[in-house]
Amino acid sequence: MRFQFTFALALLGALPALAQVPAPAGPQAKPVLITGATLHVGNGTVVPNATVAFAQGKLTYAGPASGFTADKAGYEAVDGTGQDLYPGLILPNTTLGLTDVESIRATVDEQEVGILNPNVRSLIAYNTDSDVLPTLRVNGVLLAQPTPRGGLLTGQSSVVQLDAWNWQDAVVRADEGQHLSWPQLIIRTNPAEDAAALERRQKARETNLRDLEQLFGEAAAYRQLPAGRRENLRLTALAGLFDGSKTLYLHADYGKEIIESVRFAKRLGVQKVAVVGGRDAWMVLDFLKQNDVAVVVSRLHALPRRDADDYDQPYKLPAQLQAAGIRYCLDYEGSQEAPGGRNLAFIAGTAAAFGLTKEQALTAVTLAPAQLMGIDKAYGSLETGKSATLVLSKGDLLDMRTNNVTAAFIDGRRLSLETKQTALNRKFLTKYGLN
Amino acid sequence: MRWGAPAEAMKIAGAPGFIKFALGENVKQSNWGEQNVLRFPQTRMGTEQVFIDAFTRAKEYEKEMLAYSKLSKKAQATAEAPRRDLELEALVEILHDTRHITCHSYVQSEINMLMNVADRMNFKVNTFTHILEGYKVADKMKARGVNASTFSDWWAYKNEVKDAIPFNAAIMTKEGLNVAINSDDAEMSRRLNQEAAKSVKYGGLSEEQALRLVTINPAKMLHLDQHMGSIKEGKDADVVLWTDNPLSIYAKAAYTFVDGRELFSLESDLALRADIARERERLVQRMLTEKKAGATTRPPVAKANSAWHCDTLGEEKDLAE
Chain B residues close to A343, C-beta within 8 Å: 153
Residue A336 to residue B136, Cβ atoms within 8 A: no
Report how far apart, in Å, the C-alpha atoms of A28 and of each of A50, A86, A144, A403, B3 are.
21, 19, 21, 26, 58
DSSP A385: T
Q: What are phi and psi of A336, to 5 degrees?
A: 50, 40
- The pLDDT of residue A196 is 85
CATH of domain A89-375: 3.20.20.140
- Residues A421, B155: C-beta atoms closer than 8 Å: yes
Note the pLDDT tens digit of each residue in B236-254.
999 999 999 999 999 999 9
Q: Do A425 and B304 touch (CB under 8 A)?
A: no
- Nearest-CA residue of chain A relative to B246? A401
Beta carbons of A57 and A412 less than 8 angstroms apart: yes
Closest C-alpha to B200, from A118, A400, A379: A400
* Confidence band for A195, pLDDT divided at 50, 70 and 90: confident
Decide if A335 contacts A314 (C-beta within 8 A): no
Distance of CA B211 to the CA centre of its chain: 19
Chain B interface disruption, residue of A99, A337, A428, A429, most B CBs within 10 A = A428
Predicted confidence (pLDDT) at residue A233 exceeds the cutoff of 50? yes
How close does chain B come to A86, measured CA to CA in Å? Answer: 18
Q: CA of A314: which chain B residue's CA is closest?
A: B187
What does the pLDDT read at residue B308?
67
Residues of chain B in contact with residue A401, where contact means CB-CB under 8 angstroms, are 197, 200-201, 207, 245, 247-249
Give the other-Cβ count within 10 Å of B255's Cβ: 16
Q: What pLDDT is recorded for position B304?
A: 60
Closest by alpha carbon to A281, among A247, A322, A243? A322
Residue predicted with more confidence, B138 or A194:
B138
Q: What is the pLDDT of residues A10-22, one digit of tens each?
A: 444 444 444 568 9
Q: List C-alpha distances in Å: B71 to A8, A385, B57, B64, B66.
A: 74, 93, 21, 11, 9
Contacts of A318 (CB under 8 A, 6+ apart): A297, A300, A328, A330, A351, A354, A355, A356, A360, A361, A364
Q: What percent of chain A has pLDDT over 70?
A: 95
- State yes or no: pLDDT of B274 exceeds 70: yes
Cβ B317–A346 below 8 Å, yes or no?
A: no
B128 bridge partner residues: B103, B148
A151: left (phi over 0), alpha (psi -120 to 50) or beta: left
A183 touches A261 (CB < 8 A): no
pLDDT, mean of residues A357-374: 98
What is the widest separation between alpha-carbon atoms in chain B? Answer: 82
At position B206, the amino acid (one-letter code) is S
The pLDDT of residue B194 is: 98
Say whether A349 and B250 touch across the interface (CB within 8 A).
yes
Assess whether the previous peptide bond of B41 is cis (omega < 30° from 0): yes
Highest averaged pLDDT of the listed ranges A199-203, B36-40, B303-307: B36-40
- What pLDDT is stored for residue A188 in this prediction? 72
User: Which of B165, B201, B269 is closest, CB to CB, to A424?
Assistant: B165
- C-alpha distance from A19 to closest chain B C-alpha (Å): 15
Peptide bond into A27 cis (omega under 30): no
CB atoms B247 and A401 under 8 Å: yes
Total number of residues shown for chain B: 321
**pLDDT class of B187 with cuts at 50, 70, 90:** very high
CA-closest candidate to residue B158, choices B46, B50, B29, B45: B29
From A378's Cα to the closest Cα of chain B, the distance in A is 30
Residue of A nearest to B164 (CA): A421
For strand A405-410 and strand A390-393, is the pairing parallel, antiparallel, or unpaired? antiparallel
Do A336 and B157 lie within an 8 Å CB cutoff?
yes
**Residue B320 pLDDT greater than 70, yes or no:** no
What is the C-alpha to C-alpha distance for residues A15 and A45, in angstroms, rounded to an integer? 42
**For residue A68, what pLDDT band results from cuts at 50, 70 and 90?**
very high
Indicate yes or no: CB of B251 within 8 angstroms of CB of A353. Answer: yes
CA distances to A15, A226, A409, B156 from B202, in Å: 22, 60, 21, 17
Bigger pLDDT: A54 vs A228: A54
CB contact under 8 A, A303 and B248: no
- Across B308-318, average pLDDT: 58
Q: Do A339 and B194 touch (CB under 8 A)?
A: no
Mutate to test the interface with A, among B157, B207, B316, B318 (most CBs of A within 10 A): B157
pLDDT confidence band for A432 (50 / 70 / 90):
very high
* Mean of per-residue pLDDT scores for chain B: 94
- Summarised one tens digit per residue, pLDDT across range A121-147 is 999 999 999 999 999 999 999 999 999
Average pLDDT of the segment spanning B110-119: 98
Cross-chain residue pair A401–B245, CB shorter than 8 Å = yes
CB spacing of B304 vs A101 below 8 angstroms: no
Q: How far is A120 from chain B (nearest CA, A)?
A: 25
Q: Where in chain A is the domain with CATH 2.30.40.10?
A: 21-88+380-418
One-letter amino acid for residue B275 of the chain: D
pLDDT recorded at residue B309: 67
What is chain A's length?
435
Q: How far B214 CA lies from chain A's nearest CA (Å)?
A: 15
Q: Which residue of B has its CA nearest to A102?
A: B157
As a whole number of angstroms, the longest Cα–Cα distance in chain A is: 83
pLDDT value of position A118: 97
Sheet holding B239-242, edge to edge: B239-242, B253-258, B261-265
At residue A363, the pLDDT reads 98
Pairing of strands A272-277, A294-297: parallel
Question: What ipTM describes this predicted complex?
Answer: 0.93
Give the mutation candidate from B249, B268, B298, B315 for the A interface (greatest A CB count, under 10 A). Answer: B249
Residue B175 CB neighbours (<10 A):
22
- Using the predicted structure, report yes or no on whether residue A367 has a pLDDT greater than 70: yes
**How close B285 gets to chain A, by Cα (Å)?**
17
Which of A393, A401, A418, A429 to probe the B interface (max B CBs under 10 A)? A401
Residue A251 parent element (H or E): strand A247-252
A253-267 pLDDT, tens digit each: 999 999 999 999 999
- Strand ranges, E, within A253-365: 272-277, 294-297, 328-330
With a pLDDT cut of 90, the percent of chain A lying above it is 89
Select from A186, A311, A401 the Cβ nearest to the Cβ of B200. A401
Fold of domain A21-88+380-418: Urease, subunit C; domain 1 (2.30.40)
pLDDT at A403 over 90: yes
Taking alpha carbons only, the member of A328, A313, A324 closest to residue A280 is A313
Q: How far is B56 from chain A (nearest CA, A)?
A: 34
Name the closest residue on chain A to residue B156, using Cα atoms: A101
Higher pLDDT, B3 or B146: B146
- The CATH number assigned to the domain with range B14-230 reads 3.20.20.140
- CA-to-CA separations, B177 to A326, B125, B146, B164, B221, in angstroms, rounded: 49, 14, 7, 18, 11
- The DSSP secondary structure of A127-192, one letter per residue, reads -TT-TTHHHHHTTTEEEEEE---SSSEEEEEEEEESS-SSHHHHEEEEEEEEEEEPPPSS----TT
A132, A400, A432: residue with CB nearest B139: A432
Quick one: which of B88, B68, B86 has its CA closest to B76?
B68
pLDDT tens-digit map of A380-389: 999 999 999 9
Q: What is the pLDDT of residue B226?
A: 96
Provide φ and ψ at A90, rounded to 5°: -120, 125
Asked whether the predicted pLDDT for residue A102 surpasses 70, the reply is yes
Q: Band the pLDDT of B314: cuts 50, 70, 90.
A: low
Distance between CA atoms of residues A351 and A365, nearest Å: 11
pLDDT tens digits, residue range A148-178? Answer: 998 899 999 999 999 999 999 999 999 999 9
Beta bridge partners of A251: A181, A276
B223: DSSP letter? T
What residues does CATH 3.20.20.140 cover in chain A? 89-375
